[in-house]
Copies of this chain bind each other. A is one copy, B any other.
Amino acid sequence: MRKGEVTRQHIIEEAAALFNRRGYAGCALREIMEATGLEKGGIYRHFNSKEEIAAEAFDYAWGQAFAVRTRGMDEIDDAVDKLRRHVANFTEKTGFPGGCPVLNTSTDADDGNPVLRERVRGAVKRWRAMIVGIVEQGQAAGSVRETFDPQEVATRIIGALEGAVMLARIERNQAVLHSTHALLDSWLLSEVRASGKVRRG
């Protein structure tokens, strides 16, 4: 990486930790200056606006969180086991400091900041598509019940996980994540997984 790229990445990483905890409006440029040790001019040499910093910071934070939450899935063949690993990763590991970047940034940007909102929409779209793809692959292979709408499986998983993160953080209670894990896992095993009888593939 060239020196300019190193500095740009440094700004993105420091800003991501601030924005994910405090929101777009809650994080002043001055705080990014303090965290990076750079002057205003040193920051705006790399970005056109605070909005651009926040958008890049979101992509970075979500990239980090998504990597943690998809870890090990590629090595698993079975669709239901892939989804179980995803749920386990999400509920057992910290994706990024300050809570889920999608949860934080979507509630922050859904009524404003169109640039940031589009970044979050894109992230959710890709996340949903990943789950839908796994469900479809499982249905093609006969390991996932055909009665399930892949989009609805994605809605159930993403909704339950994000709602659980919200509750765990405001209640300061990790038990919410464990019980959400247990509930989704037993649903995946007992309902989503095709049993011998319902297998039609």
Instruction: Identify the A interface with B (CB < 8 A).
Output: 21-26, 98-99, 102-104, 106-108, 110-112, 117, 120-121, 124-125, 149, 151-152, 155-156, 158-164, 166-167, 169-171, 176, 179-180, 183
Cβ-defined contact, A108 with B106, below 8 A: no
A-B contact pairs, 21 of them (CB 8 A): A22-B112, A23-B26, A26-B108, A99-B111, A102-B166, A104-B107, A106-B166, A106-B169, A107-B108, A110-B170, A124-B170, A124-B171, A152-B183, A156-B160, A158-B163, A159-B159, A159-B164, A159-B180, A162-B167, A163-B164, A163-B166
Q: Residues of B contacting A106 with CB < 8 Å? A: 166, 169-170
Q: Which residue of B lies closest to A170 (CB)?
A: B106
Q: Which residue of B lies closest to A184 (CB)?
A: B156
Cβ-defined contact, B108 with A108, below 8 A: yes
Residue in B99, B107, B155, B160 whose CB lies within 8 Å of A159: B160
Q: Residues of B contacting A111 with CB < 8 Å? A: 21-22, 98-99
- Give the complex CA separation of A108 and B98 in angstroms: 11
- Give the complex CA separation of A141 and B169 in angstroms: 34
Most chain B beta-carbon contacts within 10 A, residue among A103, A108, A152, A163: A163
